[in-house]
Structure 1
Amino acid sequence: MNAQSAADPSAVNRFLKSVVAWSALFLVIVLLAGLVDPRYLDPQHKQFLFLLGFIGMWRYSNAFMHYCRGMYFLYWKYPRMRKQADKLGDQALPSEIYMVVTSFRIPSHTTYRVYRSVFEEAARVGVPVTVIVSIVERSDEVLIKDILRRHIPDGAQVKLVIVRARGTGKRDGLAHAFRALSRQMPADDAVVGVVDGDTKLLPGCVANAVKFFKLLPTVGGITTNEFCEVEGSELIRQWHALRFAQRHVNMCSMAVSKRVLTMTGRLSFFRSKILIDPLFISDVEADHLDHWRLGRFQFLTGDDKSSWFSLMRAGWDTFYAPDSNTLTVEHPPEKNFFKATRQLMFRWYGNSLRQNIRTTKLLGYERLGLFTSYVLYDQRVSMWTCLLGLTVSLVASIIYGAQYIIIYFLWVAISRTIMTLAYAFSGHSINPMYPLVLYYNQVAGSAMKVYALFNMNKQSWTRQKTTLDSGSGRFDAVLNQVSSKIMLFSSLCIFFGAVSVLIHLTQRAY
């Protein structure tokens, strides 16, 4: 701590709590290590350990590969690209910028902070900026106009356009805003930022991102780095913070190949000619999936995945600007940690799986590239492998003794602590709660992925509390529900059959 922080009692308390928490974490690891009987690490058990270790090596090698690619991009490739963009100076800026902001049922104090940051960043960037706001309530319009009047000088080149949406979902709101954008007749080199109504723009985030469109002519969309401010318990705050740290590393990794897998709705930038394309607007407004069992159904959520797919299908690359920073004001859908995270994970992972299946089927490795194709296919496998270690260890501990589950949790504690410490180099803060949260994410997240895989048509917004109307008859709806349960049950049977094979091989090791 420096002298200033040492004089601040709250900073001293935070430091002491951190020291105690990290000490408790390492104490748990030491205690678990002390409970392990050395005989269970004897070579006679090598077959069992090898089988689990082989799967673990494969999973951790994937994580290590992403981490190394991410650090290479963050500390080597991107700084050199940033220098090239900065050398262009103001010439790298587009002639005009548009900011599309969507808001629906967001608390007024959050709306005030978000729109003030948007207007101030628009005035700061140095080129004409038009802010297109897609809202539902009249009260939001009054508040937004008041924010513009109070905080933006009269001479600033900032124009406000209000679009009233129907409140039928974010996709409709975006489509209305994109059509309003097309009526503005943007210049050929214009860039459009799409901002969520709960995302505060940090100084310099617009200029830091839009300059790369001049430097990278094949890039059609650029997404940004996110930090979070969560209105909830300490546990859910750390859960969100860890998610953004993991996202940052994965984004950097995929940016090496210019194949960032999502154009986040928090803040992403696009070339204007892409957003006014009727096909792109249709993709965002009425995206759908033709499923072999569930038929055709529309995507209610996941507009960020739809925009990414539309870019990739049109032949554009995608990129990530790690120094274009935003602060997301998160409002958990439930006060209960487990209910809130379950709802959020089901929405996020369902969106990913729906786009995963459609993307690999329609685009293929010729368009995606070998590495991106591998990452997408690996997403379908990882949900099972994350559950395999826990399940096998539990069964082995029941059959052979509790030492196996102790060894398993010792490995979990050590490996997740190492992963937590590695995130310190990403630029995001770390917390001693991360190892526990990491493991919870992997186990609970895998369970939610498995459930979402067989219930692709189930979707809902956590804020709007709206669900997808299947539009089918009673018989079709019942058939879909029954077939989803049968498919899920069959897959779980196959999974536990694989666990039985591993246990049988373990018996042969004795």
Structure 2
Amino acid sequence: MSADSAAARTPSSLSGFTAGSTFTQSLPGTLVYLAPLIALLLPIASHWFSQHGAMLLGLGLIGIWRYSWASAHYLRAWIYRAYRFPMIRAATDPQRDRFDHVAVLITSFRIDAEVNAAVYAALFRELLDYGARATVVACVTDPADAQLLQAVGRACGCDGRMDVMVMAQAGLGKRHAMGRALRHLASRSLPSNAAVVLMDGDTLLRAGTLERCLPVLQRNPQVGAITTDNLPLVRGTAISREWYRLRMAQRHLLMCSISLSNRLLVLTGRFSVFRASVACQPGFASQIAEDEVKHWRFGSIQMLSGDDKSSWYWVLSRGWKMLYVPDVTVYCLEELPSKSFFAGTTSLMKRWFGNMVRNSGRALDLGAKRTGVFPWFALLDQRLSLWTALVGPTLCLALTALQGPQVLVLYLIWVIFVRSVQALLIGLFAGRFNVWFPLLLYYGQMVGSAVKIWATFHPNVQKWTRQSISGADATPRASSTLLMWLTLLVFVAGVIVIGGVLDRAL
């Protein structure tokens, strides 16, 4: 796909949505403040290590594990993108590796007409360019959406060239709508050589998306589903835009790393492609529409959000492989659900990390043979990292209270240095960077850990960020909150004891 053809479908005309600055514009500024930090940090660190070496060495084992794990992801991601995936791509033939039929299930919830028009126009053009028989099932919430969709279809020349069905959502949530649509597709008896695309109504396909994605799935018969890179186009403040861009850059690196094991940790609802033999199974629709997980305290928890985790679990548990396609990017139109940056980001993290907490346990139960060894340990690390990320700040605050603010100063210098290096490496890999990335990375780790801990003890509390749909069982939250705070007290006490803080106080 040429740069010109990709630009032809870039939603530059959509009001308020921007992609952010390029990598090269911000790289020099990062290097300018990173060099003085190194010069300042080394002598201070040397002095402190000479006085607190035993303590720092003990806690450093946790740091070594965390940084080694991050390094492993980084190395695996480079191997996958630079060596493994190019071999996968080279083995495909866009003319030979084709599907006879492409079905698309797209869900929308109160999306602006301008966005709807751009999204459906890009989708229709992609299907027409691909050239196979096509079926589109659009789950919408407003009769005006159906009229707009028909007008866009006529403008794109879809009449007689694809089947387009508009299905009104019943107000019971995205899962219910997807279940109905998937059962409808299954009833149409799609040919065995068919692909099913699941995508959101605020995802815009770039030119050549299907032409480059589908051969990867078709060429590898053991692969049940694939997903792609996401580029966020954000409507909002500059800081919210960079927060989204950092998250997608982190996602890109992690996806490449896990895909080296022919597995993924999620089949993103923004845009993923499944074999019809997978998506048209009756159990697949039920898994999405009526999914539930078992919990040792709450019993059965009916899943509300996280349909992309349900589809992923179905594919994973049935032994299918999955692949990430790093050289294909779709646009995701993003906007925080609140004008407040903190309220908006924590609201999204509660949904995302809640889905992770609710699903990771049953995925771990599948065993390393089914999930793949490295992905299994990645799932385990997800459950541990919420605590390990808080060891440093907890020890710092305890030592600051005991020995004075110089401890806090050293810690902040260390945080800025380490997060700058980490953000720079992520930016180098993803080709997306901004000087805000180091601070946003630390914000995401600290606030994210707090949200993950909250979600771990309140897995039954769920809410869609943009729909007035929520769920929780009758178990009082007070008991969950009490257990959470007791666990946090034990964690803080453990860090203080292991860190030798009490010894220095005596």
Relative to structure 1, is the Cα distance of residues 267 and 108 closer, same or farther in structure 2, using a 3 angstrom cutoff? same
1:64-112 deviation digits (Å, cap 9, x = unpaired): 1001101110111101110111xx3322011111111111111222111
- Post-superposition shift, 1:379? 0.7
1:482 positional shift: 2.7
Contact 1:37–1:403 under 8 Å retained in 2: no
Query: Is residue 2:50 matched to residue 1:43?
Result: yes
Change (3 A) 1:145 1:38: closer
Aligned mate of 2:330, from 326, 348, 360:
326
Separation of aligned partners in 2, 1:468 and 1:50: 45
- Residues 1:32 and 1:406: Cα distance change in structure 2 (over 3 Å): farther
Alignment match, 2:491: 495
TM-score, normalization by structure 1? 0.90
1:222 to 1:38, Cα distance in 2 relative to 1, 3 A: closer
- 1:208–1:469 distance in 2 versus 1, CA, 3 Å: same
1:138-196 deviation line (CA, Å, top 9, x unaligned): 111011111111123657x3331212220211101111111121122211010011110
Alignment partners' CA distance in 2, 1:437 and 1:165: 37
**Structure 1 residue corresponding to 2:113, chosen from 108, 111, 115:** 108
1:187 is aligned to: 191
Is the 1:195–1:268 contact (alpha carbons within 8 Å) kept by the matching residues of 2? yes
> Does the CA-based 8 Å contact 1:47-1:506 persist in structure 2?
no
Secondary structure, in 3 states, of the residue corresponding to 1:92? coil
Measured at CA, do residues 20 and 377 of structure 1 come closer, stay the same or move farther in structure 2, by a change above 3 Å?
closer
2:475 equivalent among 463, 474, 477: 477
Summarize the Cα distance change of 1:506–1:494 in structure 2 as closer, same or farther, 3 Å threshold: closer
Q: Does residue 213 of structure 2 align to residue 209 of structure 1?
A: yes
CA contact (8 A) 1:102 1:196 kept: yes
Is the contact made by 1:32 and 1:406 (CA closer than 8 Å) also made in structure 2? no
How far apart are 1:505 and its partner, in Å?
6.2
Q: SS of 1:319's equivalent?
A: strand
Paired residue for 1:56?
63
Aligned to 2:341: 337
Alignment of 1:27-426 (within 5 A): 29=37, 33=41, 37=44, 40-85=47-92, 88-152=93-157, 157-361=161-365, 363-426=366-429
In the TM superposition, residue 221 of structure 1 has moved relative to its aligned partner by 0.9
AA aligned to 2:492 is F
SS in structure 1 of the partner of residue 284 of structure 2:
helix
- Tell me the SS of whatever aligns to 1:290: strand
Aligned residue in 2 for 1:3: none
Identify the residue that residue 9 of structure 2 maps to in structure 1.
none
What letter is aligned with 1:29?
L
Q: Secondary structure at the match of 1:167?
A: coil
Contact 2:23 2:433 (C-alpha < 8 Å) held by counterparts: no
Instruction: Indicate conservation of the 8 Å contact 1:251/1:320, yes or no.
Output: yes
Report the CA distance shift for 1:269/1:184 in structure 2 as closer, same or farther (over 3 A). same
TM value normalised by structure 2: 0.91
- Contact 1:135 1:173 (8 Å CA) reproduced: no
Kept in 2, the 8 Å contact 1:48–1:506? The answer is no
Q: Distance in 1 between matches of 2:24 and 2:82?
A: 31
Shift of 1:16: 11
**Distance in structure 2 (CA, Å) of the matches to 1:248 and 1:440:** 19
Equivalent position amino acid for 2:111 in 1: I
The question of whether the paired residues in 2 share the 8 Å contact of 1:92 and 1:215 is answered with yes
Q: Distance in 2 between matches of 1:144 and 1:224?
A: 25
* Paired residues of 1:220 and 1:318 also in contact (CA < 8 A): yes
1:203-222 alpha-carbon deviations (Å, 9 max, x no partner): 11112111122221111111
Deviation digits for residues 202-259 of structure 1, max 9, x if unmatched? 1111121111222211111111110001111111100000000000010001111111
Calculate the aligned-residue CA RMSD, in Å: 2.3
One-letter amino acid of the counterpart of residue 466, structure 2: R
> In the aligned structure 1, how far is the partner of 2:51 from the partner of 2:278?
62
Counterpart CA distance in 2 for 1:464 and 1:25 is: 43
Which residue of the partner structure matches residue 473 of structure 1? none
Distance apart, 1:38 and its partner CA: 6.4
- Hey, what's the Cα distance between the residues in 2 that align with 1:154 and 1:161? 12
What is the alpha-carbon distance in structure 2 between the residues aligned to residue 350 and residue 153 of structure 1?
40
State the 1:402 CA deviation: 2.2
Q: Is the Cα–Cα contact under 8 Å of residues 227 and 271 in structure 2 kept in the other structure?
A: yes
1:98/1:129 contact within 8 Å kept: yes
Give yes or no for the alignment of 1:438 onto 2:441: yes
Q: Deviations over 1:275-311 (max 9, x none)?
A: 1211111100010112111121210000000001111
Q: How many residues of Structure 1 are paired with residues of Structure 2 in the alignment? A: 486
Q: Measured at CA, do residues 501 and 28 of structure 1 come closer, stay the same or move farther in structure 2, by a change above 3 Å?
A: same
Give the conservation status (yes or no) of the 8 Å contact 2:460–2:472: no
SS of corresponding position for 2:144: helix
The residue type paired with residue 333 of structure 2 is: V
Q: Percent identity?
A: 34
1:274 Cα deviation from its structure 2 partner: 1.4
Change (3 A) 1:187 1:23: same
Structure 1: stretches of 5+ with no match in the other structure: 1-12, 471-475
Deviation at 1:469, TM superposition (A): 5.2
1:153–1:98 Cα change, 3 Å:
closer
Q: Deviations over 1:35-54 (max 9, x none)?
A: x7467335232112212322
Find the aligned partners of 2:107 and 2:256 in 1 and give their Cα distance.
27
Conserved 8 A contact 2:23-2:434 = no
Q: Which amino acid aligns with 2:73?
A: H
Structure 2 partner of 1:461: 464
What CA distance in whole angstroms lies between the structure 1 residues aligned with 2:134 and 2:124?
Answer: 9
Whole-Å separation in 2 of the counterparts to 1:38 and 1:241: 32
Task: State how far apart, in whole Å, the 2-side matches of 1:180 and 1:231 are.
Answer: 34
Gaps of 5+ in 2: 1-20
- 1:274, 1:236 → 2: CA distance? 37
Distance 1:468 1:296 in 2: 13
